[in-house]
């Protein structure tokens, strides 16, 4: 089913730390259960910047050339033998993971925790800063016409926000504190609103970002430079850390009500000292999120119905030859989501 397609494609390849180059790569060959997607839009993520700047994230080290980018949407242009040819031409959002379906984690529904996961832009698996990518057909989710290519790409960070809200038990009437008004914090605020939270307190040290968060669901903002959230007696049901800042994690932990939940999303210090009596005496549930599982249908519905706005997060757009600029731009405090368009 690959007739009429080119044999090679252009890709932006990370050769080593801080060194990107446009290279010609073979267009991926399909397994029977896979689809080939012409990439329209890719969101730049903090993890892409980490791999570019540091050459590693924790135990994941870039040891051979790697194509970055894992937030992607596009159009199916070819299908494997076991996939309906009717899917050619369909616009899709990509869930960029490939778990082993027989692992205990997959069988229990938590395939994101599969230790043998193959994930886009995580060594040694290539990502989406390329003209074409492939994925198993069930991880290419059709999007309706009213969902833009950018929004199709940004279903990925939205899925992180949904996973965090689900872990935090956010529901109608919930009171939520979110630390960090960057892209994930802003998305988490929108998801909290969509899940029915009635109080959404967002904290950040940047006043411009706080102001912006009000547009996306924050009902109250706190700048910890001026006031410590822990001193405000917030007693929230759920605290989501999207900052990775140790002081924010610690004051958030002291801001949840007895029996409340803390969800760590932001990546900061590997180890911090925790106030054990606060956790014990209040039976606080402390957890994290690692990617997501089974979130795409929810993500697409939230965007389709206008409950979550992803298009307004886009603050910059770059072609494949300008991925380095896109990565740098995404680190500016005025940036929310930078987009790479490999077809342009
Ligand atoms: Zn991401």
CATH architecture, domain 158-288: 3-Layer(aba) Sandwich (3.40)
Query: Per residue in 140-199, pLDDT tens?
Result: 999 999 999 999 999 999 999 999 999 999 999 999 999 999 999 999 999 999 999 999
Closest CA to 303 of 192, 140, 220, 190: 190
Tens-digit pLDDT profile for residues 188-241: 999 999 999 999 999 999 999 999 999 999 999 999 999 999 999 999 999 999
Instruction: Tell me the whole-structure pTM to 2 decimals.
Output: 0.97
Mean pLDDT of 293-298: 98
Q: What is the CA(311)–ligand 1 centre distance, in A?
A: 16
| Residue intervals in the chain for CATH 3.90.180.10 | 8-154+310-341
Query: What's phi and psi for 147, nearest 5 deg?
Result: -95, 120
Note every long-range contact of 205-210, with CB atoms under 8 Å and residues 24 or more positions apart, other chains counting.
Answer: 206/181, 206/333, 208/333, 208/334, 209/181, 209/182, 209/333, 210/181
User: For residue 60, how many other CB atoms are within 10 A of its CB?
Assistant: 17
**Token duo for residue 211:** 């102001």
Residue 96 CA, ligand 1 centroid: distance in Å: 10
Where exactly does CATH 3.40.50.720 map onto the chain? 158-288
**Residue 1 pLDDT more than 90?**
no
- Tell me, what's the pLDDT at 10? 98
Q: In angstroms, what is the span from residue 82 Cα to ligand 1's centroid?
A: 29
Token representation of residue 34? 């896979």
Tell me how far the alpha carbon of residue 185 lies from the centroid of ligand 1, in angstroms.
13
Q: Are 179 and 252 in contact (CB under 8 A)?
A: yes
> Is CATH 3.30.70.360 the right assignment for the domain spanning 8-154+310-341?
no
For the stretch 111-150, pLDDT in tens is 999 999 999 999 999 999 999 999 999 999 999 999 999 9
- Cα(156) to centroid(ligand 1), Å: 6
Compute the distance from residue 170 Cα to the ligand 1 centre, in Å. Answer: 22
Look-up of token digits 């080593």: 16
How far does Cα 113 stand from its chain's mean position?
Answer: 16
Rg value, the chain, Cα = 20
The answer, yes or no, to whether residue 57 has pLDDT greater than 90, is no
């Amino acid at each position: 089913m690959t007739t009429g397609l080119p044999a090679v494609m252009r890709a932006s390849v990370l050769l080593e730390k801080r060194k990107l180059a446009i290279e010609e790569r073979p267009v991926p060959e399909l397994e029977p259960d896979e689809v080939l997607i012409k990439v329209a839009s890719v969101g730049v993520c903090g993890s892409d910047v980490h791999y570019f700047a540091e050459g590693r994230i924790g135990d994941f080290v870039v040891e051979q050339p790697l194509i970055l980018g894992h937030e992607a949407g596009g159009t199916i242009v070819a299908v494997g033998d076991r996939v309906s040819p009717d899917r050619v031409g369909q616009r899709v959002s990509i869930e960029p993971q490939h778990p082993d379906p027989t692992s205990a984690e997959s069988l229990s529904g938590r395939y994101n925790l599969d230790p043998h996961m193959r994930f886009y832009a995580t060594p040694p698996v290539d990502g989406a800063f390329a003209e074409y990518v492939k994925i198993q057909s069930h991880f290419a989710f059709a999007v309706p016409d009213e969902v833009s290519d950018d929004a199709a790409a940004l279903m990925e960070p939205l899925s992180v926000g949904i996973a965090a809200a689900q872990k935090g038990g956010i529901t109608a009437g919930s009171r939520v504190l979110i630390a960090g008004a960057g892209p994930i914090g802003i998305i988490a605020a929108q998801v909290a609103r969509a899940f029915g939270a009635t109080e959404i307190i967002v904290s950040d040290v940047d006043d411009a970002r706080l102001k912006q968060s009000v547009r996306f669901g924050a009902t109250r903002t706190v700048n910890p430079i001026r006031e410590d959230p822990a001193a405000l007696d917030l007693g929230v049901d759920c605290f989501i850390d999207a900052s990775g800042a140790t002081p924010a994690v610690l004051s958030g932990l002291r801001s949840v009500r007895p029996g409340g939940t803390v969800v760590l999303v932001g990546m900061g210090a590997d180890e911090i000292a925790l106030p054990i009596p606060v956790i014990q005496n209040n039976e606080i549930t402390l957890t994290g999120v690692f990617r997501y599982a089974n979130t795409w249908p929810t993500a697409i519905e939230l965007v389709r119905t206008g409950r979550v706005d992803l298009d307004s997060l886009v603050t910059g757009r770059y072609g494949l030859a300008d991925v380095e600029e896109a990565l740098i731009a995404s680190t500016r405090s005025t940036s929310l989501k930078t987009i790479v368009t490999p077809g342009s």
